[in-house]
Chain A
Amino acid sequence: MRLRTMEISVGLFIMAGVAALFLLALEVSGLSLRPTEKTYKVYAEFNDVGGLRVRGKVSLAGVTIGRVSNIYLDNRTVKAVVEMDIDSEVDYLSRDSIAVVSTAGLLGEKYINVSIGGDEEVLEEGDFFDSTQSALNLEKLISDFATNKF
């Protein structure tokens, strides 16, 4: 009987360990077990994405609607191209929506804030945002202010 309780407790221990891994995966890292949620890719060109990172949020009216999946430099236009995965449920982003690199709080993480426009046509897989607004560069702002460029 002593052996039996030992075996049971070892079994519970292993189960607890595996459960911990699942909790970490699902709750903490937000990994989804369902075969990757349906998303579509849209692109946006920025002059400056300073501080934005892959996996950063894409939000609409403060609600997360997708993630930044890749950031690279377009060698021809010499602009930063941001690739984002947007939930396919959000299929009403008009073509004239504006993508803005914003900051959570004064010093917080950078994310992309989308403000919706009024166009009839909507963005689809592979489309580019028409208008974008680059990251607010605090240093640049201050130096501009100091040298009276305004």
Chain B
Amino acid sequence: MLDFLQRTGKKGLLSIAALGRAGMFLIGSLTGIPSWKGVPLFIKQLYSIGVLSLVIIIVSGLFIGMVLGLQGYNILVDYGSEQAIGQMIALTLVRELGPVVTALLFAGRAGSALTAEIGLMKTTEQLSSLEMMGVDPLKQIVAPRLTAGFVAMPLLAMIFSVVGIWGGMMVGVDWLGVYEGSFWGNMQSAVDFREDILNGVVKSIVFGVVCTWIAVFQGYDSVPTSEGISAATTKTVVYSSLAVLGLDFILTAVMFGDF
């Protein structure tokens, strides 16, 4: 019993220490004067984090929108209100599925890659060698990846939503024959720019910060062995997914709580 308490206490302290390291890590990488020398690094990361994630985001968005169209139609047609399908698809995507599914895909696609890349840099002493060259790896390696992740996530989430709505329209309007005018009309009367779209964007920004932070920190903090990297990659995906889903609940409660 005592042994159990002792172990739990130790684990608790270790996780608090890890959180502290993560916080100092974030501050250490993002403070300081940004210089023009960092711009090419940022663009390069935006390419590998954002552009290379586009395909999976577009394909998933399209299919999720199409499924929403089919399922929504089947339910709504029973009540004779299948015109409301546009409103349903748009609200689900913009408020929830856009930010959340993008963040989950991002954690799996870009987050794990970030962790593995930085972990491998640590294992092969590239980070140490930067330090010995008088270059701060937090500024050179970590900062551009963090900022690129912060920027890429909301962009990806918006693209996801647009593609999803288009997919839903394809199924609903072109295939199932919902009248196009009421599809868009219902949608436009139900979706509010500030309440729905901007709140969705805020969500995806929060998810972007959290997912990139977790991914980069796990890589930086990994044990420099092959097992260490694989453990860190797993942690990235697990922690990011849990953080996204948990935060989504809190954010939804705060943003749309009065409904």
Q: Which of A25-33, A86-94, A113-121, A141-149 lies on the face that meets chain B?
A: A25-33
In the complex, A119 Cα to B80 Cα: how many Å? 36
In the complex, A64 Cα to B47 Cα: how many Å? 45
Q: Mark B65-104, 1 if CB is under 8 A from A, else 0.
A: 0000000000000011100100000100010000000000
Contacts A30-B188, A31-B193, A67-B189 given: A23-B162 contact, CB under 8 Å?
yes
Contacts A10-B50, A64-B185 given: A17-B159 contact, CB under 8 Å?
yes
In the complex, A9 Cα to B43 Cα: how many Å? 10
CB-based nearest A residue for B40: A3
Contact residues, A102-119 vs B (CB, 8 A): 104-109
User: Main secondary structure on chain A at its contact with chain B?
Assistant: helix
Does B187 sit within 8 A of A, measured CB to CB? yes
In the complex, A106 Cα to B79 Cα: how many Å? 8
Picked from B80, B155, B191, the residue with its CB within 8 Å of the CB of A105 is: B80
Question: What is the size category of the interface that chain B forms with chain A?
Answer: 20 to 34
Ranked 8 nearest A-B pairs via Cβ? A17-B155, A30-B188, A20-B158, A29-B191, A29-B193, A31-B193, A20-B162, A105-B81
Taking a contact as CB atoms under 8 Å apart, the answer to whether A107 and B44 are in contact is no
Does A21 sit within 8 A of B, measured CB to CB? yes
Contact partners of A73 in chain B: CB under 8 A: none
Does B156 sit within 8 A of A, measured CB to CB? yes
Taking a contact as CB atoms under 8 Å apart, the answer to whether B188 and A20 are in contact is no
Taking a contact as CB atoms under 8 Å apart, the answer to whether A21 and B43 are in contact is no
Picked from A7, A10, A17, A31, the residue with its CB within 8 Å of the CB of B154 is: A17
Taking a contact as CB atoms under 8 Å apart, the answer to whether B192 and A20 are in contact is no
Q: Report 29 cross-chain contacts, Cβ distance below 8 Å, ordered by A residue.
A: A9-B47, A13-B54, A14-B46, A16-B159, A17-B154, A17-B156, A17-B158, A17-B159, A20-B155, A20-B158, A21-B158, A24-B94, A25-B197, A27-B184, A28-B90, A28-B165, A28-B187, A28-B191, A29-B197, A30-B188, A30-B189, A55-B189, A64-B189, A67-B189, A104-B81, A107-B79, A108-B79, A108-B84, A109-B84
Does B232 sit within 8 A of A, measured CB to CB? no
A63 to B: closest C-beta gap in Å: 10
Contacts A29-B191, A57-B189 given: A24-B50 contact, CB under 8 Å?
no
